[in-house]
Structures are given as structure tokens and as C-alpha cells.
Structure 1
Amino acid sequence: MAVQSSRKVTTMKLAAPISAAILTLIIGFSSANADDLQKIKDAGEMSCALSGAFPPFSFVDEQNNVVGFDVDICNAVAQELGVKAKVVTTAWDGILAGLVTGRYDTIIGSMGVSEERQKAVDFTNTYYHSGLAIFVSEGSQAKSVADLEGKTIGVTLGELGEEWAQKRGGWTLRTYKGLPELLLELQSGRIDAIVTDDVPVLVAVKDKKANVRMVEAPDLPKWDVAVAIRKDNPELREAINKAIASIRESGKYLEIANKWVGSDIF
């Protein structure tokens, strides 16, 4: 598996609305680059973009390797397609732009499916399910969302948690690059709570790497997580769907999920 760093990426908030002009450009570019499956097979390699800052799905280990659930899924899907995997790490707020402009073949980076994102890219079938949650430090008195009115909340720039927190309002928002920063700020007391995906934090709690707890928030959104590809690539979409089904049936998926999360998240 090759690992490449992609740094020069156009900044784009994934959760933000896409203007008509940008949408037209994206659709035109995607159409011009159809038949990505054949290109991948000809190259013998499928590149998968992810942030590298979202444990346990993608992060840099002590040996400076990018590892995690999404990395293993990328490898497993590529193997099913008969090609090698290449992991590309890039900033989350530019990851969608990088896909539509051809810097990589797919995003296998824990991207939730949303109507806004579907205007720019296509998605495969779901490969895991997740949702937002609100976490506070163990010593916090907050037990529900109502207890956090007027408090300072941390979110990751460009993620759906930021979009939800902005729409709800009632607190001061601070944006960060990823989960490690969020947990550090929360446990140091510089922010009162964080809004982020549930699974990575629950894993951190299980592994005793975070002294935090979830507060009651029944109205938080849940979503499907899928592989993002460029528009007008039905052959690639079908091939990846078959690959996901195959690794589910073989038990490879559950092996990966147990390794990184401790349970089946399909």
C-alpha cells in the first residue's frame, strides 16, 4: 500500500451549500472523467482519500504510518477489485474538491451521505452507520443539550457536526482540525463540550484514552457512511458495492470492525 500526502487542495466546506456555478463546473468535470473503473484497472491502483486525523478510522501511528478502519476498508475494496490501494491524506475541508478535480479516485474517509454532497459526487452503498453525539468531560454538570446553553462548543471544521451546531445555535462555536484537538481542548477545560461523530469518541473511552461522557441529545442526526466517487461512474459504483458485499460475506469486514471499533458498525 502506498501512502501519499495531498496538500494543495482547494478549500471547500463539505457541509456548506454549493453554488449553481460551482455545481455546474463539478458536473461537467465529472462527466468528462467517466469510466473511472477502467482507469483504475488499467493503472492497477485505486487511490482513497481520508483525513488521517479521525481515529480509529484514520490516523498516523507511532511508526508514522496511516492506519485505521477506513485504511483497511480501502485495502479490502481494492483487493476485491484486483488492484493495489493508495491512501491519500488531505485536509477534510478540501477533500471533496480534491475528488471532483481528479486528485484521487475515491473518498473512503468516513464521509456521511447528505443531499448537499450528492449534488457534487455519487455515493456507493453504506459501509458503516454513525451519528452525531455531544460529549462533555466526566466532571461536567451537564446532562442534556439544554444544560449547554451559552457554553463554548468545539467542532471539526467542515464536518456535519459543525453544520448542525451552527443551525441549532445558542452557544459559542470553536472549530478545530480533528478529533485529537477536540478531545485535548475538552479535557483541558478550554471548551465545555464537543459535537462530533459518536464511534471514534466511544472507542477512545473504551481504550481509556478519553475521560469524557455522552450527554442526552435524542434529536441529533444519524447518517449512512459511504464511499464517494465522481459523478457518472455506475460501473465503479457497482464494483465497489459488490466489493463491500463480498467482504461482509467473507467475514473480512467484521474482522476489520472488531480490530478498530470493537463491534460491528455496519
Structure 2
Amino acid sequence: MNTWSNAPLSLAASHNFPPYSFLDEEGNLSGIDIDITNKIMKLSEIQFFIELKPISRIEYLIKNKKVDAVITTTPHITETISNSMWFSNSLYNTTLSLFINSKNKEILNQKLSYNKVCQRTGFLNGSILTSPEFSSTSFIDVRSVNYVSQLVDLLTLGRVDCVIAEDIAFIYQAKEMKKQDQVLLIKEITDRDIFIGLQESLVKRRPELPLKIDKAISELHKNHAIDDIIIKYLQLPLKKAN
């Protein structure tokens, strides 16, 4: 029988957030974070299970210690939560980027500031923009939506001038919607590292977990296994303005 010292870890990941974590057509857990976590835990010989939850629910579960760990794909892990968690070495890096509709590429030749080009801008709800150039108050009209697919529609239908989004998620969704030729990445704003976070109370009970997890991450980086997983989900390079 399992005891508190060897019980399977309960991990939470964002629901319906392709290509990071989602249910495939057969109802199976899939995505970059799911595949990476599976490899980490297999190498570490750690028993675990993953549940997909809305971000607000994940925050509640972490605060109330009802989940052992989280895969921090997005910037939704608040400072309050992060103060009570141990974070692994970086799994990989994502970039928050600025996108325009490709039909407006000629705007770039006018050498206008991005704030003037992007009067109306789309964001994903819960996104945290930390950049010396931009903030959520830099734009006249900010449209916040719940899903990346909605950001793609806002931009391609001309309802916003620009979108600020994580490049991996946005390009993936544009490809899924067959609209990748209508979006253009024009500026990389800021980078983010992705981690696995464990409750500090769990780490105190099972101090071997951080060592096992970080060792497995190093091994996966050495073998380029994480890069291979990301490439599997993003088969084409990003389209970026010259």
C-alpha cells in the first residue's frame, strides 16, 4: 500500500491550452508539458498523475494544498503561490511576442513606434506583461479573451491591430485554424522559463524529489529530448518579419 512517503504525486496543468496541455481527439492527455513530464517522472521513477484544471482552480488547489505540484506553462502562477513552492530547473523557454496581421506588413516601413501601431491590442486573460517597452496601459483599447483561438480570430478578422501572446501557443493555434499565413511575428518582448513546481511542504517530507526531478531534466536536455518534443508539436518554423 502507498504511504505519505511514496504516494503518487498529483500534478495540475492548464486545461485546453494546446500545444502545452490538452485532451486529444481520443480523450487522452497530450501536449508538450504532458510529454515532458511523463519523461521526467519515468526517469525519476516517481509515481504521479496529471489532471487538467482551469487556472483559477489550480491557484485554489495550490493555495489550499490540495495538489502536490503544477506545471508552470503560463505566467498564471502568482507571486503568492510561488512563494510557497519549490521550482525545478527550466524545462524550456517561451517568448512573449508581438504579432500583427500579415496584410499590414507595410506599416513596419513607416518606422512608427509599436505603441502607435498597436492602438487596439489583444491579450489572453491572466497574462502578465513585464517589459520596459510595454504594459497593459500602453494601449488605447485592450481586448482580453479566454482562449488563444480567440486571439487568432481577433487579429485575422481585423478587430485588433496587434496581439501579444506566447509565440508557441499562438503560432500553434494559428496553424490549427489554417490561418498561419495571416499572422506575422514582429517583435519578441520577453522570455519566460517553464518549470515544475512542488509544494514546499511536500519537499520537506520527501527531500529526494527535487534532486530526482532536476537530474532527470538535465538528462533530457543532454539528449535533446525536450527539444524533440517541442519540434513534434511545432513542425514548422515561426514566420517572422524581416
TM category, shorter: 0.7 to 0.9
1:199 equivalent in structure 2? 168
> Matches of residues 90-239 of structure 1 in structure 2 within 5 Å?
90-112=53-75, 116=79, 118-140=82-104, 142-143=107-108, 145-151=114-120, 153-161=121-129, 166-204=135-173, 208-210=178-180, 211-216=182-187, 220-231=189-200, 233=203, 234-239=207-212
Give 1:195 deviation, angstroms. 1.0
Give 1:108 deviation, angstroms. 1.5
- Over aligned residues, Cα RMSD in angstroms? 3.1
CA distance in 2, matches of 1:223, 1:184: 25
CA distance in 1, matches of 2:90, 2:149: 26
> Number of residue pairs matched?
221
Point out where structure 2 has 5 or more consecutive residues left out of the alignment.
237-242
CA distance in 1, matches of 2:71, 2:78: 18
Give 1:213 deviation, angstroms. 0.6
Point out where structure 1 has 5 or more consecutive residues left out of the alignment.
1-37
CA distance in 1, matches of 2:78, 2:145: 24
Q: Aligned in 2, Cα 1:206/1:105: closer, same or farther, shift over 3 Å? A: same
Q: Aligned partner of 2:187: which letter?
A: E
CA distance in 1, matches of 2:104, 2:195: 34
C-alpha contact (below 8 Å) 1:48/1:74 kept by paired residues? no
Q: Aligned in 2, Cα 1:173/1:130: closer, same or farther, shift over 3 Å? A: same
CA distance in 2, matches of 1:178, 1:85: 28
CA distance in 1, matches of 2:44, 2:156: 43
Give 1:128 deviation, angstroms. 0.4
Q: Aligned in 2, Cα 1:114/1:102: closer, same or farther, shift over 3 Å? A: closer
> Does the alignment pair 1:59 with 2:31?
no
Q: What is the percent sequence identity of the aligned residues? A: 23
1:79 equivalent in structure 2? 42
